[in-house]
Amino acid sequence: QMNGINYGTGVRSFTQVNTEVCSLLYSNVVKELSCDNNTTVFDAYSGAGLMTALIANSAKKVVGIEIIPEAVKIADKLMKDNGLNDKVKNYCGKCEDLLPMLIEKEREISANISVVLDPPRKGCENSVLEAIIKSGVDKIVYVSCLPQSLARDVGILVGSLVSRNGEIIREKEFTPRYIVEKVIPFEMFPNTKHIETLCVLKKNS
């Protein structure tokens, strides 16, 4: 159990093993989203659904996207066991394939849209970032275990970096699409060089 949610995991499903720091991290994700009853949240790379469920306690609706079938099955059971079936919909597939279509569809009916990104170490596919930029979501909460990929992806979202012909190029002049509001490090992996980082971006209005 974590923060009032009963959860499980599987052999191939990603789950943070440092539960104490994980609880703190996920609590901060929910806090920084600051959802209301009109907010839909997309939880990209949602794993076995624990963070999705925690977000669902305060959002109008949460959409989880995960590529591993076992994890999606566990996430569906988690929602059922915690009485969240009516607030959460989990999809199995690649974020780069599903996220653009789902955000576009949701934009037609939802006033406020936020995205949580918790990708693997390599970071997000460019098509995922482009879908977020195109949709103009209101807030992005990015959870990263590698500062290098976080810096690259945040640069693309903000507009200081651009991907051209497979290369990342710095833009000399640009108007920020998003403003970095907060960066919080978490010592998820004590006595190693690794760090977990929470980055909050808000649309530049």
34: tokens are: 């600051």
The beta-strand segments (E) located in the chain are 39-44, 61-66, 88-92, 112-117, 139-144, 161-164, 167-170, 178-186, 196-203
145 included as an active-site residue: yes
- Of 95, 124, 145, 199, which one is the catalytic site residue? 145
Per the structure block, which two tokens stand in for 107? 């934009």
Contacts of 96 (CB under 8 A, 6+ apart): 125, 127, 128, 131
Those residues whose C-beta lies under 8 Å from the C-beta of residue 29, and which sit 6 or more positions away, are 51, 54, 55, 116, 141, 143, 198
The CA distance from 35 to 50, in Å, is 17
Active-site residue list: 145
